[in-house]
Amino acid sequence: MLGLVFVVSLMLEIIPGDPVLLMLSETASREMKEAVRHQLGLDKPFMQRYFNYLGKIMQGDLGRSFLKGQKVAKLVGNAFPATAELAAASLFVMMLVGLPIGVLSALFPQSKVDFFAQMISLIGVSMPAFWIGLLLIYAFAYRLGLFPLGGRSGVTSLILPACSLSMSSVGFLMRIVRVSMLEVMSKEFITTARSKGLSEATVVWKHGLRNATIPIITVLGLQFGRLLGGAVVTEVVFSWPGMGRLIVEGILDRDYPLVQGAILVFGFVFVVINLLIDISYSIVDPRVRYD
Amino acid sequence: MRIFQLRARVMRIAKRFYGRPMVIFGASIVLLLVIVAVFAPHLAPFDPLEQDLLNRRSPPCLRHPFGTDIYGRDMLSRIIFGSRVSLAVGAISVLIGFLAGGLCGLLAGYYGGILDDLIMRVMDLLLALPSLILAMVVITALGPSLLNAMIAIGVWFAPNYARLARSSALSVRQKEFVEAARAIGCSNFRIIIHHILPNSLPSLIVYSTLNIGTAFLMEATLSFLGLGVQPPTPSWGAMVNEGRAYLQMAPHLVTIPGLVIMLAVAGFNTLGEGLRDILDPRSGFGFQ
């Protein structure tokens, strides 16, 4: 996390352009510019600013946005729930579509279902996220009028962005589910379960999928992180007031504290997600505890 | 003798291609794309920058098979010239990632110790940032342009190449032939270039083929956000962005360039995956 803050601070340091000039008008006097620069702490050396910032983070202070004037923690706090909501909804869509199709494709390898799944997967990973978003807006908002064009106003406004964001991840999940299930379904305990006379549904969903879960959970966790980060384009296309848009605005306006704070929160969420994935391993597979 | 061996190897690889329709599909798209990019000035029916303000946003017709854009420019010609931009970004950004990341990974894997820790921790930091945000920060630092988009995408690729090259170097450095090279007094540089690198190349090359499709998507996304190729240079992502405001009136401005991006990415992805299966060193069809 410390390294992440350092790298982001360093990158922002080398970005050309002076935030003070963006805040003040062209006609502002030199003294005024110097005063603002001093007030923002930009007249201090880079390393001093970096350590000051670290000290503030320890106290829960992410600084104050140069241009918006509000506390970064407040801005991020307002935007993060929107992005988390979008990522969670996308994860739900991803599981709803990717899991059953992946399982079916593993149960009937080299069949039409398998071919169909592979096609969906290929198209999903090959489509640009912004294009899917625009196509969905055209079809379901303009032509059919079923959903709003953009913004965040209830469940209906969440469906199109969630479908758009989950598209590439669905294909990825399908492939992982297929590979894991193919491996598990050839194991001896599956033959034993069948020989005991269990129904095929119980064999597949209870014995097969449960044992294929670990790689699937890893992918779901990693994809959730990816969805959080990849929401930038979807948020721009659907005017979704989330972290992605906040970071884009921050980068374009050279609003250093805003970008630093937002990326720090992203980094923290990634770490927490990885921790949750590790914990969940021992829940779904008790053998992991003894390893 | 060597020519016969090479021919036999090519034949074996060609046999593996045969009977894989998806790989042939991918290879055909890539080949078509390369031909279109190379012969763009001869294939394009119009100048991609020539405006016809009386004929703006015209839907596809015989004269303009892909229609015209918001300035009346021929979409087909812009898409043909846009293939040059996409291929250039794909090839050069992958090369930047390959050279920078591959070299760092080889050094980290071969020398180990503090150098390994230092290089890989920096790579981990780059991996921790969401890809698009990292690329945006790099582009904002350098300024939006085609070259800077390539650098930004290359920087994003670098950590993955580093990991791949490092793992390969780690496994090869313990082999007897490396010991033998060291014993006869070869320098570290020579060992890395002549023994470690050739053994890492197959996996790096296959990974590169897969990455070109990703680079296409990334370039299109950056251009869509206004951070990639700058107007009036034709770029597929920028074309979608330009047509976005007219989605309801003239959907072809968005659908056609997007479809082209999708096909191109799908072509590289299927070819890359096919190559990965065919050239897997463990199957004996690698470059070694």
- For residue A259, which residues of chain B lie inside 8 Å, CB to CB? 137
Q: Has residue A16 got a pLDDT over 70?
A: no
User: Using CB atoms, which residue from B131, B133, B141 is nearest to A263?
Assistant: B133
Say yes or no for a CB contact (<8 Å) between B137 and A12: yes
Kindly report the nearest CA distance between residue A197 and chain B, in angstroms. Answer: 38
Cα dist from A29 to A22, A36, A66, whole Å? 14, 11, 19
pLDDT at B45: 93
User: Using CB atoms, which residue from A14, A137, A232 is nearest to B133?
Assistant: A232
pLDDT at A279: 81
Where does the pLDDT of residue A25 fall: very low under 50, low under 70, confident under 90, or very high at 90 and above? low
The answer to whether B151 touches B142, Cβ cutoff 8 Å, is yes
Least confident of A174-178, B18-22, B100-104, B205-209: B18-22
Say yes or no for a CB contact (<8 Å) between B258 and A4: no
Residues from B contacting A (CB-CB < 8 Å) are 121, 125-126, 128-133, 136-138, 140-141, 143, 213, 217, 220-221, 224-225, 237, 240-241, 244, 247-248, 251, 254-255, 258, 261-263, 265-266, 269-270
Q: What is the mean pLDDT of residues A57-67?
A: 81
Residue, of B22 and B157, whose pLDDT is higher: B157
What ipTM describes this predicted complex?
0.83
pLDDT at B277: 73
Where does the pLDDT of residue A70 fall: very low under 50, low under 70, confident under 90, or very high at 90 and above? confident
Q: Has residue A11 got a pLDDT over 50?
A: yes
Say yes or no for a CB contact (<8 Å) between B140 and A251: yes
Kindly report the nearest CA distance between residue A32 and chain B, in angstroms. Answer: 26
pLDDT at B253: 94
Say yes or no for a CB contact (<8 Å) between B225 and A142: no
pLDDT at B128: 72
Q: Could you report the per-residue pLDDT of A192-206, keeping only the tens digit for each?
A: 999 998 888 888 888
Least confident of A11-20, B63-72, B155-164, B170-179: A11-20
Kindly report the nearest CA distance between residue A229 and chain B, in angstroms. Answer: 5
Residues from A contacting B (CB-CB < 8 Å) are 3-4, 7-8, 11-12, 14-16, 122-123, 125-131, 134-135, 137-138, 142, 226, 228-230, 232-233, 236, 247-248, 251-252, 259, 263, 266-267, 270
Say yes or no for a CB contact (<8 Å) between A130 and B240: yes
Q: Chain B: residue nearest A247 by CA? A: B133
Q: Has residue A270 got a pLDDT over 80?
A: no
- Residue B21 buriedness (CB in 10 A; 0-12 / 13-18 / 19+): exposed
pLDDT at A26: 67
Say yes or no for a CB contact (<8 Å) between A138 and B240: no
Residue, of B217 and A17, whose pLDDT is higher: B217
* Rounded Cα distance, B165 and A50, in Å: 33
* Rounded Cα distance, A93 and A87, in Å: 10
Say yes or no for a CB contact (<8 Å) between A123 and B266: yes
pLDDT at B83: 94
Nearest C-alpha neighbor of A152 from the set A91, A209, A89: A89
Say yes or no for a CB contact (<8 Å) between A233 and B225: yes
3-state secondary structure of A81: helix
The H-assigned helical ranges of chain B are 2-17, 21-38, 40-43, 75-111, 113-128, 131-142, 146-172, 176-183, 188-191, 197-224, 236-243, 252-278
Say yes or no for a CB contact (<8 Å) between B140 and A126: no
pLDDT at B279: 67
pLDDT at B205: 84
- For residue A248, which residues of chain B lie inside 8 Å, CB to CB? 136, 225
Q: How many helices (H) and strands (E) does chain A have?
A: 15, 0
* Rounded Cα distance, B190 and B110, in Å: 12
Kindly report the nearest CA distance between residue A285 and chain B, in angstroms. Answer: 27
Q: Has residue B50 got a pLDDT over 60?
A: yes
pLDDT at A89: 92
The token pair that represents B75 in the structure block? 């979409």
Question: How many beta-carbon contacts under 8 Å exist across A and B?
Answer: 112
Where does the pLDDT of residue A171 fall: very low under 50, low under 70, confident under 90, or very high at 90 and above? confident
Residue, of B180 and A279, whose pLDDT is higher: B180
The answer to whether B132 touches B70, Cβ cutoff 8 Å, is no
Which amino acid, one-letter code, is at A284? V
Q: Has residue B284 got a pLDDT over 50?
A: no
The token pair that represents A33 in the structure block? 């510019």
Q: What is the mean pLDDT of residues A244-273?
A: 80
Least confident of A130-134, B48-52, B127-131, B209-213: B127-131
Task: State the best of B217, B218, B276 to mutate against chain A, taking most chain A CBs within 10 Å.
Answer: B217
- For residue B224, which residues of chain A lie inside 8 Å, CB to CB? 128, 130, 233
Residue, of A2 and B167, whose pLDDT is higher: B167
Share of chain A above pLDDT 90, in %: 18
Residue, of A107 and A30, whose pLDDT is higher: A107
pLDDT at B41: 94
pLDDT at A289: 60
Q: What is the mean pLDDT of residues A119-147?
A: 91
Least confident of A103-117, A232-246, B135-149, B187-201: B135-149
Say yes or no for a CB contact (<8 Å) between B262 and A129: no
* Rounded Cα distance, B152 and B218, in Å: 10
pLDDT at B288: 32
Q: Has residue A222 got a pLDDT over 80?
A: no
Least confident of A39-43, A135-139, B25-29: A39-43
pLDDT at B286: 35
Measured in degrees and rounded to the nearest 5, phi and psi for residue B74 equal -70, 120
Q: Has residue B60 got a pLDDT over 90?
A: yes
Residue, of A227 and B219, whose pLDDT is higher: B219
* Rounded Cα distance, A241 and A150, in Å: 10
Q: Has residue A225 got a pLDDT over 80?
A: no
pLDDT at B1: 56
Least confident of A155-159, A233-237, B19-23, B83-87: B19-23
- For residue B126, which residues of chain A lie inside 8 Å, CB to CB? 7
Q: Has residue B255 got a pLDDT over 90?
A: yes
pLDDT at B283: 44
Task: State the best of B127, B145, B221 to mutate against chain A, taking most chain A CBs within 10 Å.
Answer: B221
pLDDT at B285: 37
Across chain B, what does the average pLDDT equal? 86
- For residue A127, which residues of chain B lie inside 8 Å, CB to CB? 258, 261-262, 265
Residue, of B166 and B229, whose pLDDT is higher: B166
Q: What is the mean pLDDT of residues B13-28?
A: 79
Where does the pLDDT of residue A22 fall: very low under 50, low under 70, confident under 90, or very high at 90 and above? low
User: Using CB atoms, which residue from B225, B254, B269 is nearest to A122?
Assistant: B269
Say yes or no for a CB contact (<8 Å) between B237 and A128: yes
Across chain A, what does the average pLDDT equal? 83
